[in-house]
Amino acid sequence: MANDYLESVIKQFEYYKMLGEKTFDQLTDADFFYQYNEESNSIAVIVKHVSGNMLSRWTDFLTTDGEKEWRNRDTEFENDVQDRTALMRSWKQGWDCLFKALNTINDSNFEQTVYIRNQGHSITEAVNRQLAHYPYHIGQIVFIGKMLKDKHWNSLSIPRGASQKYNGEKFAQPKANVHFTDEFLKKGKN
């Protein structure tokens, strides 16, 4: 069970990472820093926050609290980065930390309790918590990107008006046990 679960969540994390990156590919440098109003976050701020959260939660995942003493969450929401390269380095660092930590989970430690702000979580609970958190923010990134690109947006899933064709192609294939992300991740790596 642990292996099936971990394989599935890794694929889902990879999928959401890809959605973020496919959005970034469509953006100009200035788009990363667009802020609708004072209370909204730019894509740059969301990237800072997601990366900061990942580094805190996944560094020494099995042995230290997920809210690290060195994390300053409030500064993650300051719109102070003006360099796309630095943002992409931060994005990569966060994801690398996450995948490295997930690869340390195995049958011998799967029942271990991990802590976030001194609250005990099973491995499943801790992973699911982040599997809900990161797609929430990646959805914000995609939404902002789609607004900014308007008619020039390239769909990241089934394009508008193409659902019937897509479903026809799916139902024309034999039934198979595959993860829903497999085809998207395969396309994303092309």
Model confidence over 115-152: pLDDT tens digits? Answer: 999 999 999 999 999 999 999 999 999 999 999 999 99
178 in any annotated domain: no
Q: Write down the pLDDT at residue 188.
A: 55
The pLDDT of 162-188, averaged and rounded, is 84
Task: Choose between 22 and 81: higher pLDDT.
Answer: 22
Domain count, the chain: 1
The reply to whether 62 falls in a domain is yes
CA 15, 17, 21, 27 dihedral sign is: positive
Q: Is the pLDDT of residue 183 over 80?
A: no
Give the separation between CA 44 and CA 91, rounded to whole angstroms: 10
Highest mean pLDDT among 1-5, 8-12, 156-160: 8-12
Flag whether 9 is in a domain. Answer: yes
Residue 22 lies in a domain: yes
List, for residues 61-116, the tens digit of each pLDDT value. 999 999 999 999 999 999 888 799 999 999 999 999 999 999 999 999 999 999 99
Domain membership flag for residue 58? yes
| Domain that includes residue 150, residue range | 2-156
pLDDT band per the 50, 70, 90 thresholds, residue 1: low
Amino acid at 8: S
101 and 53 Cβ atoms separated by less than 8 Å: no
Query: What distance, in Å, lies between the first and last C-alpha atoms of the chain?
Result: 31
For all residues of the chain together, what is the average pLDDT?
A: 93
Question: Is the per-residue pLDDT at 36 higher than 80?
Answer: yes
User: What contacts 5, CB < 8 A, 6 or more positions away?
Assistant: 124
Q: pLDDT tier at 189 (50, 70, 90 boundaries)?
A: low
Which domain CATH number covers 86? 1.20.120.450
Task: Tell me, yes or no, whether 113 lies in a domain.
Answer: yes
Percent of the chain having pLDDT more than 90?
82
The residue with tokens 């990879």 is 14
Amino acid identity, position 129: R
57 inside domain:
yes
Does residue 47 lie in a domain region?
yes
**Residue 176 pLDDT grade (very low, low, confident, very high; cuts 50, 70, 90):** confident
